[in-house]
Amino acid sequence: MYRGFITAIILIGTSFGVIAQSSSKSTPSTSQIIRGKVIDFVSEQPIVGASITLVNLQKGTQTDADGSFLLGKMPIGRYQVHVSSVGYESQTISELLLESGKEMVLEVKLHSTNNQLAEAVVRATSANLSGAVTSIQNITTEQIFRYPGTYLDPARLATAYAGVANSNDQANGMVVRGNSPNGVQWRLEGVEIVNPNHLSNAGTFSDRITQNSGGVNILSAQLLGNMNFLTGAFPAEYGNALSGVMDMRLRKGNDKKHEFTAQAGLIGIDLAAEGPLGKRRTGSPSASYLVNYRYSFTGLLGLMGVTFGGEDIKFQDLSFNFNFPTKKAGTFTIFGMAGLSSNIFKAQRDTTKWEVQKDGFDINYKNQMGAAGLTHNLNLGKKVLWQTVLVASGLKNKRDAFILNKASFTRFLTETDSSKKNRISFSSNLRLKINDHNSLKIGVFVTHQYDELLSVTLNASKAVGHATGLIIQPYFNFHLSPLPKLTANIGLHYLNYTYNKTKSVEPRLSLSYQLSNNQSIGFAYGLHSQLQPSQLYFAQADYFDTNLRNAYLGLTKSHHYVLSHQYTLKKGSYFKTELYYQKIFDVPTFLGNSAFSALNLIEEYPLGVLSNLGNGENYGIEFSYQQYLINGFYALTNATLYRSYTINDGVRRNSRYNGKHIFNLTIGKEWERSKDRILGASLRAVWLGGYYERAINETASLARKKLVYQDAYDFTVKQPDYFRPDFRIYLKKSKEKYSRTLALDVQNVASYQNVSYSYYDFLQNKIVRQYQLGLIPILSYRWEF
């Protein structure tokens, strides 16, 4: 099978090249419009007279009175756009792809500077939305579509960066600097939302529900704009997160022209539409819409009776973003997302076909998630921007597991888990530009949160309860430039959870110093805290004690320190080094078993009385090199050496995710076979140190016919190292009014066997090693018009 797949890849790749070559002589060149707006990063006021230059063609223009620019119809292809203005930091935006099916509409945010001699900052996006100086990655939708193995999911793309690893091939859980995926926060339009992923039980040991991950993101990449992914020492506006923040932003629909996208592949069928709303009046800004619907390909196969290993997997989602700018009342947006997913495993009613213990179960899992909100941006004069966001989000999960009687196939309920989480969040902030080099941001988040959880195993509950409370988070950040080459951010964040009256005061600090035109160093510190997952607040002391003895657990906290150095090279590349240290404290642990640490928790339901007496420690060094896509070549390679420990009762233990090293290599090449055709190929290879799992007591397991650990909470067995190469090849064709992309994405092209976990299988009566996903080819076709 392995050789067959490789042969198929070679044949398809060859055919891509033949198609590109055979048609390169006869197709005329096509063009498309490049336009956009340049605004101040702090006040979002238009910048008049900014210079816009297409580096490739040495053509340019300047912004008009409202900061807008129009370059007219340009030949399709890859572009670098250089943006500069007096008193502002110049930017060169790379990895821009102009296709005939869509106009290129840019929004460029420039930072004020008093260091005009510094070289232009080269980015794949127009601006860093958070103001962080260390531990931040800017993610674009174009990268999500171009990089191999992403499943069009920003979380999977994030694992290509330093310090980040995937928790399991089947899910998008992010292990950031040795922390559990539970430490990650998801945001939409700057506000924390519930878990925005389909199939949130994917890739787990017990097949149960996780807090912050799933099979694939509910929000289609068609709607995503430029995003920030933060991995430590966050700025003051970020709270209730310990390890990372995925700050998703929605792009605006085209306000001048109706455009459509259709895409089909193994992930699903996507249909997207965007364009102006209503009739445009002279001198008035235009409203726009952007809508996307997706239905899973596996769901379509399920409708025809096709399953994957007996599992009927389905998901569908709808997302939208409506933008309403006004002359004097500011800009309003209305946005939303909703997703339904399910995984139904039905055991065959023929016991001779049962091979593993799961074959004797019926397992039903269903997930419902939704979020809707509105934003309002209003300039109060030329130096003050007022931003307000209101978002309601909700999540409902339900999972039932039934064991079958071998003789009668009568079903007996063995496990049931159900959970609800609802959030209504209000955010408001003011950004004041004091002068060209100093600014102040002050704001507040107020979230009404409702949690409900029920977990029952063999008619005995393990976690049950519900909670309602406010999460109040005021903050401020003062940005200043006391010296020509020095910038600083001084901030404070406060978190108060009214349900159990826990609170935290958290100072934040960051410094950046320009050593030379192409070198800078940075330092960041922050105290961070996070609420406990609901399975800890509602964990029972024993199977029959339903009193909420753990409801008043305090926040887990962590001191983050980051030191960075960046050296900018010629032709759009840089080398960056970051040294980090995290001191974690107030971690829930059992008084009677110091091996248990909530830092190792994913989806499990512990039994016992917990106390915030545990500690943890993460430290490491990250080396990164990135070459943006220029002259047809790009690369992203990094190495992370790290350690991750839990520390209870003075005993230091390996944490679950103490893999000790992460090596990533992503390289890609594009060939312009003609003016209207691009052939591209990319390869990604990841090598991770193996995670830790619990040691199984094989003798006791065989004797008692069930899984028995040496210690149920101590992760002492190191798994083998993980290695996975992914490959992607694509062909882009453009006609006068539409463009098409045919792509083949192959995950784990070498079909390497990576360990997931070990367990006792009572049907086979032996210890079994479960492996992660093997070779998976994903063919997709995308049409934009």
pLDDT, tens digit (0-9, with 9 covering 90-100), for 555-596:
999 999 999 999 999 878 999 999 999 999 999 999 876 799
pLDDT of 251 over the 80 cut: yes
Q: How far is CA 123 from CA 102, 108, 137, 140, in A?
A: 22, 11, 10, 10
Q: How far is CA 621 from CA 331, 573, 583, 686, in A?
A: 43, 20, 15, 17
Q: Looking at 246-377, list the stretches that DSSP marks H as alpha helix, in order from N- to C-terminal side.
A: 297-303
pLDDT of 771 over the 80 cut: yes
pLDDT of 28 over the 50 cut: no
Closest listed residue to residue 621, CA positions, set 574, 686, 576, 577 = 577
Distance, CA of 513 to CA of 187 (rounded, Å): 29
Torsion of CA 754, 756, 762, 767, to 10 degrees: 60
Closest listed residue to residue 201, CA positions, set 188, 212, 186, 185 = 212
**First-last CA distance in the chain:** 38
Distance, CA of 741 to CA of 574 (rounded, Å): 30
Distance, CA of 254 to CA of 784 (rounded, Å): 13
Q: How far is CA 6 from CA 150, 726, 750, in A?
A: 20, 12, 9
C-alpha Rg value of the chain to the nearest Å: 26
Backbone angles phi, psi at 225, to 5 degrees: -100, -155
* Amino acid 701: pLDDT: 94
Distance, CA of 251 to CA of 245 (rounded, Å): 19
pLDDT digits over 102-154, tens only? 999 999 999 887 665 455 566 565 545 567 889 999 999 999 999 999 989 99
Share of the chain above pLDDT 70, in %: 91
pLDDT of 176 over the 60 cut: yes
* Amino acid 204: pLDDT: 86
- 381: Cβ contacts below 8 Å, ≥ 6 apart: none
pLDDT digits over 381-393, tens only? 999 999 999 999 9
pLDDT of 747 over the 70 cut: yes
* Amino acid 316: pLDDT: 95
- 752: Cβ contacts below 8 Å, ≥ 6 apart: 723, 724, 725, 774
Q: Taking residues 529-540, what's their average pLDDT? A: 94
* Amino acid 674: pLDDT: 80
* Amino acid 429: pLDDT: 97
Of the ranges 56-60, 224-228, 700-704, which one carries the lowest mean pLDDT score? 56-60
* Amino acid 460: pLDDT: 65
* Amino acid 211: pLDDT: 87
72 band by pLDDT with thresholds 50, 70 and 90: confident
Q: Looking at 576-725, list the stretches that DSSP marks H as alpha helix, in order from N- to C-terminal side.
A: 698-704
Q: What is the pTM of this model?
A: 0.92
Q: How far is CA 273 from CA 32, 291, 374, in A?
A: 18, 5, 20
pLDDT digits over 479-531, tens only? 999 998 999 999 999 999 999 999 999 999 999 999 998 999 999 999 999 99
CB 77, CB 672: distance < 8 Å: yes
Average confidence score pLDDT of the chain: 90
* Amino acid 16: pLDDT: 45
Q: Taking residues 432-442, what's their average pLDDT? A: 93
Q: What is the DSSP letter of 231?
A: -
